[in-house]
Amino acid sequence: MGWKEVAEPVLSRMPVVRRPDSHVPFKRKLAWTASVLVLYFFLTNVLLWGMSDSADAFGQFRTVLAGAQGSLLQVGIGPIVTASIVLQLLGGANLLGLDTDDPRDQVLYQGLQKLLVVIVTLLTAVPMVYAGFIQPDQQVAAQLGVSTSAIRLLLVTQIFIGGLLILYLDEIVSKWGVGSGVGLFIIAGVSQRLVGGFLSLDGGFFANWFDIITGRTPIGPIIGGGGLMDILLAPGNLLALMTTIFIFIVVVYAESVRIEIPLSHARVKGARGRFPVKLIYASVLPMILVRALQANVQFFGQLLNRQGMMPAWLGVYTDGNPVGGLMYYLAPIYTPQDWMWFAGQTPAGIEAWQIMIRVGIDLTFMVVGGAIFAIFWVETTDMGPEATAKQIQNSGMQIPGFRQDVGVVEKVMERYIPHVTVIGGALVGLLAVMANMLGAIGGVSGTGLLLTVSITYKLYEEIAEEQLMEMHPMMRQMFG
């Protein structure tokens, strides 16, 4: 008896959001998406009851992992992404033995993913509370007449419930709405911080420049003085503004770069189309997996540090941030202050060679990791040459000048998809590191901004496609 037979009674009974029995109208999809978005914002503002103080265990990863510190959605999409990493690694090594074309195996795969999310959520919530990242309120314990251990258990329960809520909100969007819940939550969190970064009266971009112009915020001489750094960094934030605009332009351009393979319908004369192989073929979602892996490593390091179990060679921490040891070199570059030693921005005691090693490791990890996870993503989401060839064949289309055969179409796709996948994944990793090094408006990490722009662009394309299918139902029947 294999593992599938043993696990099937449990995995097949995992709660699931039912798929629509028929086509969902576009307006209803938008309504579902908007409703989930409103509920998400509401949950991020529901504070954990019984909490007195908290420290963000994920720090600058918060914009990538969504959620909100100290709220019901404390863990954000972290468990979902971590479960995806585990499944992609197991699937890439062919250890699961699941055929995604088999309906039975599809149910097992989805059930296994949910089970992993439940386990990871619990494994994340317990250390957050019991390691001191989230402190129980002594007054609440006294008022209820219970011990602080009971309050800690209550906090873990709330975080666990929040992790399950975001799991099923993501499933609702994926099945009943437009796009994916994971992407929607990232857009929501980053956009909120961007708007605040521009318009906030307390430290916002426009408020800061108003204070500079009116002389409320003095700066030094621009030429040969510290005033230039004041304008480029805080309080002027010109570098962050230029980076924000640069990322918008580069990502939109990269999303539009594609190789278009001509298609024609085998039975309907004159019916032609094109299959686009984008430069960022695997989208930017694999980058979430890379950053989530880094977030888990840093979370583990902070956990050991709080328990007093961190050897000096592994990590030295100051105010919860690594300043030495292996964890320092594995920590991503967050802001310009992390690497601008020549401008006197980096913390004292850190040498230039240490910063260069950290930048090199971050760059290598993101570029190589982006390419590897992009390959896994393409294979596990049926975007590879074989799956794409079957989709084209099933839609009745063919490549002009080639036989109408799945194997022939697959060989044509193999000329483009594998190479573009690797190049696109590495390019996104490079852009993410560059954006992080230069910073962005509102304290948004460069990776978060990169993800937001790309996901928004893809969401726009999906909305346009939905509108086209709504106006021309025959196209929906033809392309499925």
pLDDT beyond 60 at 478:
no
Q: State the pLDDT at residue 120.
A: 94
pLDDT class for 474, splitting at 50, 70, 90? Answer: low
Among the ranges given (220-229, 366-375, 401-410), the one the predictor scored with the smallest mean pLDDT: 220-229
pLDDT class for 92, splitting at 50, 70, 90? Answer: low
- The span from the CA of 344 to the CA of 47, in Å, is 38
Give the mean model confidence (pLDDT) for residues 330-337: 87
pLDDT beyond 90 at 330:
yes
- The span from the CA of 5 to the CA of 85, in Å, is 24
CB contact set of 264 (below 8 Å; sequence gap of 6+): 271, 272, 273, 397, 398, 399, 400
- Tell me the sheet residues that pair with 316: 324
* Tens-digit pLDDT profile for residues 30-76: 999 999 999 999 999 999 999 988 888 887 788 888 888 899 999 99
Please count the CA atoms within 13 angstroms of the CA of 479 that sit on its side-chain side: 17
pLDDT class for 93, splitting at 50, 70, 90? Answer: low
pLDDT beyond 80 at 131:
yes
Q: Exposed e or buried b for every residue in 301-331, given b needs 16+ CB within 10 A?
A: bbbbbbeeebeeebbbbeeebbbbbbbbbbb
The DSSP-derived string for 363-394 is HHHHHHHHHHHHHHHHHHTT-SHHHHHHHHHH
Complete domains list, the chain, with CATH: 3-8+27-177 (1.10.3370.10), 192-479 (1.10.3370.10)
* Tens-digit pLDDT profile for residues 257-279: 888 888 887 666 666 778 888 88
- The span from the CA of 470 to the CA of 45, in Å, is 36
- The span from the CA of 409 to the CA of 266, in Å, is 14
- The span from the CA of 124 to the CA of 300, in Å, is 10
